[in-house]
Amino acid sequence: MDINSLASSIFNVQTIYLCLAIYVVTYLIRRIIEGTWSILIQQGDAKKVSVPSRVWDEIIVPILPILIGGGLSFAAKTFVWPDFAIKTKLARFLYGCICGLFSAFIYNRIRGWLKSKTDVSVGEADEPPALKASGVESPDPPAPPKAEPPKSEPPKAA
């Protein structure tokens, strides 16, 4: 297999679909867990809350998309896998893990592309959770601060 056929089998629509599916599953899991975080961790002192929170933010969240990609590789047997990933379960697992690793990057690129083609803001109100975890910077520069109108002085009394 030469490099061109390998590149064409990796960079295709199915890879983008798999990356977006991994991103969506990761997003849903994060929303559910972070939305119920206060219920899961009983009210206690800051030390009890900060340790699980750090484990979640620094260990689980960064590896979650990779694990989801690997898990989907075993669960989605009818997915249109590239030729090299069909041969063995390990190849399919690694392909799923790599797609999980790049899921936030792919989402970020598609969001930027959609934003450049339309006037609709896509996901600006909330920074994508997988994007924060992956360390990929947002493609959109922050909006410049609005300038305050000049203050007019009250008329002087004569």
Lowest mean pLDDT among 10-24, 71-85, 96-110: 71-85
Is it the case that residue 119 has pLDDT exceeding 80?
no
Mean pLDDT of the 114-143 span: 59
Buried b (16+ CB within 10 A) or exposed e, 80-117: ebbebbeeeeebbbbbbbbbbbbbbebbbeebeeebee
Q: At residue 138, does pLDDT exceed 80?
A: no
Q: Which two tokens stand for residue 154?
A: 């009250």
Q: What is the pLDDT of residues 8-18, one digit of tens each?
A: 777 778 888 88
Place of tokens 């119920």: 36
Q: What pTM did the predictor assign?
A: 0.62
